[in-house]
Amino acid sequence: MFWIETDEEEEALLCSPALMARRASESWIVAPPVEAMPVAAMPFQRKKSLPDVAQPIQLTATSPLSREEVSFLSSMRREEIRRQVDESERLRANPLLYLVSPQVKDWFSRQQLVMLVLFINISLALMFFKLLT
């Protein structure tokens, strides 16, 4: 089967609502449509997302830390590691301590609404079950 365009189809395309609206507004448009406007040669002024590679980035590594700063930071790190080891030993000895750990408390505080809805649903289910029996 061959596709044959008829005059009716061409006329229907010429009478489309978008084309009719454009024709109707042509009489009062002062500026040419956006499609007909020439593109300016100026580049867009955008915020730079990365630093300019032409200029070298100055890091703080050029000025070394003093011995006191290094000593303080290393002792803080050793203390943190010692606390983590102690905590892991306590949790291994008594797994119930996981319930009072700060991570679990934080999770419960974030899930308060979900737990409330779950409690209400369970309560309603029990009431409905007792109503049936």
DSSP annotation of 46 reads: -
CA distances from 48 to 44, 45, 55 (A): 11, 9, 14
- Answer whether residue 34 is part of any domain: no
pLDDT averaged per 10 residues, the chain (length 133): 59 67 64 58 67 63 81 95 93 87 90 96 96 90
Domain span including residue 87? 67-100
pTM: 0.36
- Answer whether residue 52 is part of any domain: no
Q: Tell me how far apart the alpha carbons of residues 33 and 64 are, in angstroms, rounded to a whole number.
A: 62
Among residues 119, 117, 124, 118, the alpha carbon closest in space to that of 132 is found at 124
- Answer whether residue 95 is part of any domain: yes
What is the tally of structural domains in the chain? 2
In this predicted structure, what is the pLDDT of residue 86? 94
- Answer whether residue 26 is part of any domain: no
